[in-house]
Amino acid sequence: MSVIEDVKQRTDIVGVVSQYVALKKAGRNLSGLCPFHSERHPSFFVYPEQQSWHCFGCNTGGDVLSFVMKKENLDFGEALRLLAEKAGVTIPSRAPRGEEKEAKERLYKANETAAQFFHNLLLNSSEGEKARGYLASRGLSAKTVADFQLGFSLNSWDSLKQYLLERGYTEDELVRAGLVVEAENGRTHDRFRNKLMFPILDIKGRVIGFGARVLDDSLPKYVNSPQTPLFDKSASLYGINLAAPSIRQQDVAVIVEGYMDVITAHQSGFSNVVASMGTSVTERQVSTLKKLTRNMILALDADAAGEEAMLRGISYENILEAEVRVVILPEGKDPDNVIREDAKSWPQLIAQAVPIMDYTFNMVAAKLDLTQARDKSLAVERLLPVIADMKDTVRQAHYLQKLASLVRVDVRTIEAKLGEMRRRESKRQAQAPRPEAPAQAARPLMSNRREEYCLALLLRYPELKSVEVNLRPEYFSSSENREIFTAWMQTDDLSALKEKLDISIQEHLDSLLNWNLPPNHIEPKFIDCALNLEKEYWKNWEARKAEALALEAEAKGAGADLAKLEEEGIAPALRLKEIYTQGRQRRPEPRR
């Protein structure tokens, strides 16, 4: 349980609000004169079951945290600390913003110092001989070794640790930077030992982490820095610091898999190459590249290519709003081999890059006998869902056409099939609108999964921020979600967001970032989710209003006040109607 949930569970909203407002029983709930606007007749309600409050006069509401924030004029962290103190919960203390930044700065410095330490050992130590021999066998020049700041880590448990401690870094800082590992007995030791070191730099040229390769046949061949405040593998691209100018200038980026692929390519003058540092490219990496170019070529080995193209190709295209091309490497070779054998073959290979959709078509067709009816159906079954995910309708039409001619049936048949598929899908969604389960198991009952799902989507796919939906902070019932939503809409990237948010929210933010999200149909899913959130808000509003009016009538005091409440009720009721209509219109129609 996060500290926020802990505090909420130990705090009763009725007790907190009663300190400011004289509450009277109103059915299952309580009401009183609103502390935020002046009134003679209570339109302020507290709902103990939901641990929430709402004022129909000023149309505000939320949970206990938002009440304290508003009443005491505090920010989220301050309000949380106030309630935590009363509830006896300890909150990690908040370092002032400047200090946080400074702390991060020190981690960058520690990494940079480590990179220099490793680099120096590679160039000058007798222990580095084997590593130097390895690089020579790979044909790397001294300039390349220097450009990439390659290094060597000693076969020692604490040489880097001692070196950095002597320079004033604390053990805790070294653990946070991922340079040192804390063992179970609480003792620490160097993470990287007896390895060839590849510093990983961000686009600004700061060392954010390391890749390390063994110099013998032991496994695993590579280890990387863990996730740290500076390093997130799934959002980083190896070589981006050196490749960015060329990518911009040539307006195309080539993505390969490994460190050596990038290094060899750059040494041979192909400097628009970066590595994903893993078999599959992530959408966050694609988003990073999009700032430099919309044109992306994936250099894939024959084994991995099929899956990558099938599963993720279209989502990359949707992010880039452009076609993604693929190059399939000769069997059993990686770009490093290809370029070292014959550098001239690389540009030729790149020139043969094919649109990822065409490749997917060929791959599917190659395994089928398209003179057979059964195999025709199979081809449609496999390819149509991929085509359905395309955002660009013109390209979609092109590939529907292509699929029709591949299986030699009329394009209208394929289109009808697409319509059918979409109807099934939307029906399935309507029947089971439950979002995917979060990666971590235990979730407290209090949390609101729908709003968290919506937020998780928005955080993972920042491009959704520009989708036109009527999403407002108040639709998020829990303050921590409201807080993250508001801050996210005002920031560009995750690190800026983290800087903006109170430290007590980070844990919650991390859990949102770890949600298992669907790989495709992102935008419609997000729109649905946002619409549902809004609908839920107004439905709740209406139910509560009806309840208040019923009580009012019972207590006879109706008259002018009742009329006033009803008048206020009109706008939300209209909006609710609008949402329902919109929901109906949005249901995809079969194409004609």
Q: How far is the CB of 564 from Zn ion (least distance, A)?
A: 13
Sequence-separated (6 or more) residues with CB below 8 Å from residue 489: 465
At 343 the three-state DSSP class reads: coil
User: How many whole angstroms from its chain centre is CA 357?
Assistant: 25
DSSP line for 222-237: EEE----SS--GGG--
- Tell me how far CA of residue 549 lies from CA of 22, 536, 558, in angstroms: 20, 20, 8
Contact 266, 256 (CB under 8 A): no
Q: How far is the CB of 36 from Zn ion (least distance, A)?
A: 5
Nearer to Zn ion, 42 or 211 (CB): 42
Binding map of Zn ion across residues 318-337, x = CB under 5 A, - = no contact = --------------------
Q: How far is the CB of 55 from Zn ion (least distance, A)?
A: 3
Query: Which one of the spans 57-65, 107-115, 198-206, 344-352 is the region binding Zn ion (CB under 5 A)?
Result: 57-65
Q: Using the rule CB under 5 A, is 298 a contact of Zn ion?
A: no
Query: Which one of the spans 54-62, 240-248, 454-462, 557-565 is the region binding Zn ion (CB under 5 A)?
Result: 54-62
Q: How far is the CB of 9 from Zn ion (least distance, A)?
A: 27
Nearer to Zn ion, 57 or 239 (CB): 57
At 157 the three-state DSSP class reads: coil
Nearer to Zn ion, 33 or 242 (CB): 33
Query: b/e string for 523-539 if b means 16 or more Cβ within 10 A?
Result: bbbbbbbbbbbbbebbe
Query: Which one of the spans 32-40, 199-207, 293-301, 398-406 is the region binding Zn ion (CB under 5 A)?
Result: 32-40
Tell me how far apart the alpha carbons of residues 242 and 202 are, in angstroms, rounded to a whole number: 10
For 26-85, the three-class secondary structure string (H helix, E strand, C coil) is ECCEEEECCCCCCCCCCCEEEECCCCEEEECCCCEEEEHHHHHHHHHCCCHHHHHHHHHH
Q: How far is the CB of 58 from Zn ion (least distance, A)?
A: 3
Q: Using alpha carbons only, how large is the chain's radius of gyration in Å?
A: 29
Out of 9, 12, 20, 36, which residue is the one contacting Zn ion (CB under 5 A)? 36
Q: Using the rule CB under 5 A, is 211 a contact of Zn ion?
A: no
Nearer to Zn ion, 45 or 361 (CB): 45
Distance from first CA to last CA of the chain, Å, rounded? Answer: 51
Query: Which one of the spans 17-25, 52-60, 102-110, 131-139 is the region binding Zn ion (CB under 5 A)?
Result: 52-60
Going 381 to 382 to 387 to 390, the CA torsion angle's sign is: positive
Nearest to 504 by CA among 132, 89, 179, 214: 89
How many chain residues bind Zn ion (CB under 5 A)? 6
Q: Using the rule CB under 5 A, is 34 a contact of Zn ion?
A: yes
Query: Which one of the spans 30-38, 175-183, 282-290, 471-479 is the region binding Zn ion (CB under 5 A)?
Result: 30-38
Q: How far is the CB of 56 from Zn ion (least distance, A)?
A: 8
Nearer to Zn ion, 503 or 551 (CB): 551
Name the token pair of 267: 């040494």
Q: Which regions of 86-194 does DSSP assign to beta strands (E)?
A: 151-153, 180-182, 188-190
Query: Which one of the spans 56-64, 140-148, 229-237, 346-354 is the region binding Zn ion (CB under 5 A)?
Result: 56-64
Out of 1, 58, 363, 409, which residue is the one contacting Zn ion (CB under 5 A)? 58
Q: Using the rule CB under 5 A, is 37 a contact of Zn ion?
A: yes
Nearest to 198 by CA among 289, 285, 137, 260: 260
- Report residue 54: phi and psi, to 5°: -155, 140
Nearer to Zn ion, 45 or 192 (CB): 45
Nearer to Zn ion, 33 or 527 (CB): 33
Nearer to Zn ion, 30 or 328 (CB): 30
Q: How far is the CB of 39 from Zn ion (least distance, A)?
A: 7
Nearer to Zn ion, 21 or 115 (CB): 21
- Tell me how far CA of residue 12 lies from CA of 17, 18, 25, 328, 497, in angstroms: 9, 10, 16, 61, 30
Q: Using the rule CB under 5 A, is 208 a contact of Zn ion?
A: no
Tell me how far apart the alpha carbons of residues 407 and 575 are, in angstroms, rounded to a whole number: 47
Nearer to Zn ion, 45 or 270 (CB): 45
Q: How far is the CB of 45 from Zn ion (least distance, A)?
A: 10
Name the token pair of 233: 């593998």
Contact 381, 417 (CB under 8 A): no
Q: How far is the CB of 61 from Zn ion (least distance, A)?
A: 9
In the numeric block, the tokens 């149509």 are attached to 384
Name the token pair of 543: 């139910």
Q: Using the rule CB under 5 A, is 199 a contact of Zn ion?
A: no
Tell me how far apart the alpha carbons of residues 411 and 380 are, in angstroms, rounded to a whole number: 12
Name the token pair of 421: 């598929």
Query: Which one of the spans 34-42, 365-373, 440-448, 543-551 is the region binding Zn ion (CB under 5 A)?
Result: 34-42
Q: Using the rule CB under 5 A, is 57 a contact of Zn ion?
A: yes
Nearer to Zn ion, 24 or 221 (CB): 24
Tell me how far apart the alpha carbons of residues 260 and 589 are, in angstroms, rounded to a whole number: 50
Identify residue 113 by its one-letter amino acid code. T
Out of 7, 26, 46, 55, which residue is the one contacting Zn ion (CB under 5 A)? 55
Q: How far is the CB of 575 from Zn ion (least distance, A)?
A: 20
Query: Which one of the spans 36-44, 129-137, 200-208, 386-394 is the region binding Zn ion (CB under 5 A)?
Result: 36-44
Nearest to 481 by CA among 529, 518, 521, 441: 529
Q: How far is the CB of 566 from Zn ion (least distance, A)?
A: 17
At 275 the three-state DSSP class reads: strand
Nearer to Zn ion, 57 or 258 (CB): 57
List, in sequence order, every residue forming a beta bridge with 275; answer none if it has no partner.
Answer: 238, 256
Query: Which one of the spans 27-35, 214-222, 352-360, 455-463 is the region binding Zn ion (CB under 5 A)?
Result: 27-35
Tell me how far apart the alpha carbons of residues 487 and 162 are, in angstroms, rounded to a whole number: 40
Q: How far is the CB of 44 from Zn ion (least distance, A)?
A: 6
Q: Using the rule CB under 5 A, is 35 a contact of Zn ion?
A: no
Q: How far is the CB of 7 from Zn ion (least distance, A)?
A: 25
Nearer to Zn ion, 55 or 174 (CB): 55
Q: How far is the CB of 450 from Zn ion (least distance, A)?
A: 26
What is the contact surface with Zn ion in residues (CB under 5 A)? 34, 36-37, 55, 57-58
